[in-house]
Amino acid sequence: MSLVGSARFAFLSLGLTTALYSPDLLSAARADSAPMPPVTTDAHGVPNSFADLADRLLPAVVNVSSTQTVKGDSDDDEEDGDSGPQIPQFPPGSPFEKFFHDFMNRQNAPNAPPRKMQALGSGFIIDPTGYVVTNNHVIRHADRITVTLQDNTVLPAKVIGHDDRTDLALLKVTSPHPLPFVSFGDSDTARVGNWVLAIGNPFGLSGTVTAGIVSSRGRNIDQGPYDDFIQTDAPINKGNSGGPLFDMHGAVIGVNTAIYSPSGGSVGIGFSIPANEARGILEQLRKTGHVSRGWIGVRIQDVTQEIADGLGLKPAKGALIAGSDPKGPAAKAHLETGDVIQALNGKPIEGRALPRLIADLPVGSQATLTIWRHGKTQDMPITIGALPESKEEATARQAPKKDTKSSDKDADLGMLGFKGRAVTDDLRRKFRLSDDQKGVVVTDVTDGSPAAERGLKAGDVITQIQQSAVNTPADLHKGVEDARKAHRRSVLLLVHDMDGLRWVPFPLDTGH
């Protein structure tokens, strides 16, 4: 399984061949065969062109660019799932082999300097106020995120929330005017064979449009317990991750996420998260910043024909309980290992669909499971619990948040990449400042940060922000906040360093 990659896609043209038969043969065939049911077609039929639809939808599709600072000993994978650049194959003992080996070792050494990595993907605007949908793997671990609109306007973005389990993320950008947007449709109405458009904005080169059909529904690609992908043959290429899949009415029926490809390029097997699943996830992210899912605390497996034969169960359907959490809802409802869950709230279920269906139920709600036990069927009530957080989620939630409030003594301008303190006698002596020097002294600069990139060093003194005097850290924080409220893209600091005074612009990255 590969995430979206770049490749060419060739459309195949299928023709119909007409054969000649004698009237006698045709009559015999009609006599021996049952009449075929009439074929109904979509009112749209085969479109002459997708141009009008594409013109209407393209303005709402954006490019999403994220930057991440990676240290030499980082184990994070590349966004496309690769493990990073590999050493080219050279003859053993070749000087080139030694050169590349030494180079890669320097790059990955624990004390190697931080380096910038960039991920590019697509997204789409779902609200005129600037809410943007994309894939989580596009913005994962990002230090800085920007969104480029169809007219090449670049806006900083902040993460409202993300969901690792479905690979969805919700961003927010601020624009002085309402933005073009698209709406979700009903993905359950997408039939196999329906035309679809996949639109992306890779590399910020404006939108790209590809067309295809719905190839299959309900695909499980072993990406997680909630797999229910729409499969399409519309080419989904590198940079199109997070872009929308549209029906012929212009409604979003899926979020393009992955392709199956031996080479990393499109071979006509792409996968999209259905709109009906994405809609609920994104609404939770918008309201709370995280996702709560229903959970009953069981480990299940599909009932195969061999398992059904062993149990004496006919037909071979349902979810076989292979184990349960001793403190979970299933244990409290007295479900047992070996029970076969056949229906949820009266609706028959397949084994692999159970986690997804349970996850959609509100935490604390009551549900009824129809189970098969020792040859008998019975209904059992159960209270839906909350899916426990993963270790990564729990660590992120419990991590202390940085206090953005200023004190009289210290300033932590994390978004700009430096820390500072009000001028004191000790700092005057340490950095050899003049007796009349006023402002905030830079005490620490983060490697790879905007401050480091702009040449700030410990001992530099911030004397003004936006042409207003800076005497305390509170003045510095207030200047940054005022610039944010005024929707400025950057803020100007007057810095006194060893060479004198200079104005330094800093980007206001609202993604922090």
Q: Is the domain of 174 the same as that of 52? A: yes
Angle formed at CA 203 by CA 200 and CA 209, multiple of 5 degrees:
25
Residue 338 shares a structural domain with residue 468: no
Q: Is residue 79 part of a domain?
A: no
In a domain, 466, yes or no: yes
pLDDT tier for residue 10 given thresholds of 50, 70 and 90 = very low
* Amino acid (1-letter code) at residue 380: M
Of 8-17, 62-71, 161-170, 245-254, give the lowest mean pLDDT range: 8-17
Question: What tokens appear for 147 in the block?
Answer: 């969104």
24: CB partners within 8 A, 6+ apart: none
Contact between 294 and 363 (Cβ < 8 Å): yes
Examine the domain organization and report whether 208 and 99 are in the same domain.
Answer: yes
Q: Of the residues 292, 325, 356, which one is the last residue of a structural domain?
A: 292
Average pLDDT over residues 269-276: 85
Query: Are 261 and 376 in a shared domain?
Result: no
Distance, CA of 277 to CA of 245 (rounded, Å): 14
Range of the domain at 193: 1-8+46-74+93-292
Q: Is the dihedral of CA 358, 360, 363, 364 positive or negative?
A: negative
CA-nearest of 442, 437, 410 to 506 is 442
The answer to whether residues 298 and 226 belong to one domain is no
pLDDT in tens, 290-341: 888 888 888 888 888 888 888 888 888 888 888 888 888 988 999 888 889 9
Distance of alpha carbon 88 from alpha carbon 99, whole angstroms: 11
Residue 328 belongs to a domain: yes
Structural domain includes residue 3: yes
Does some domain include residue 142?
Answer: yes
What is the three-class DSSP state of 426?
helix
Q: Kindly report the CATH number assigned to the domain that includes residue 334.
A: 2.30.42.10
What tokens does 119 get?
A: 């991920």
Calpha distance 439→475 (Å, rounded): 9
The answer on 298 and 222 residing in a single domain is no
Domain boundary among 258, 292, 326: 292
Number of domains forming the structure of the chain:
3
Domain boundary among 275, 292, 309: 292
Together in a domain, 173 and 186:
yes
273 pLDDT higher than 80: yes
Mean pLDDT of 176-191: 90
Sign of CA dihedral 438, 440, 442, 448: negative
**Do 168 and 280 reside in the same domain of the chain?**
yes
Residues 199, 160 share a domain: yes
Contact 252, 196 (CB under 8 A): no
Pairing of strands 115-125, 61-70: antiparallel
Active site residues: 137, 167, 241
Taking residues 81-108, what's their average pLDDT?
53
The answer to whether residue 399 is domain-embedded is: no
Verify that 100 and 235 share a domain, yes or no.
Answer: yes
When pLDDT is averaged across residues 283-293 and rounded to a whole number, the result is 88
Which DSSP symbol is given to 209?
A: E
For the stretch 405-442, pLDDT in tens is 434 456 677 778 888 888 888 888 888 888 888 889 99
Q: Is the pTM of this model over 0.85?
A: no
Backbone angles phi, psi at 68, to 5 degrees: -130, 135
Residue scoring higher pLDDT (316 or 380): 380
Considering the domain architecture, whether residues 261 and 329 belong to the same structural domain is answered as no
Are 139 and 213 within one domain? yes
Q: What is the CATH number of the domain that holds 162?
A: 2.40.10.120
Domain assignment present for 429: yes
How do residues 391-405 score in pLDDT, each as one tens digit? 555 555 554 444 434
- Provide, rounded to the nearest whole percent, the portion of the chain with pLDDT above 90: 16
pLDDT at 343 over 50: yes
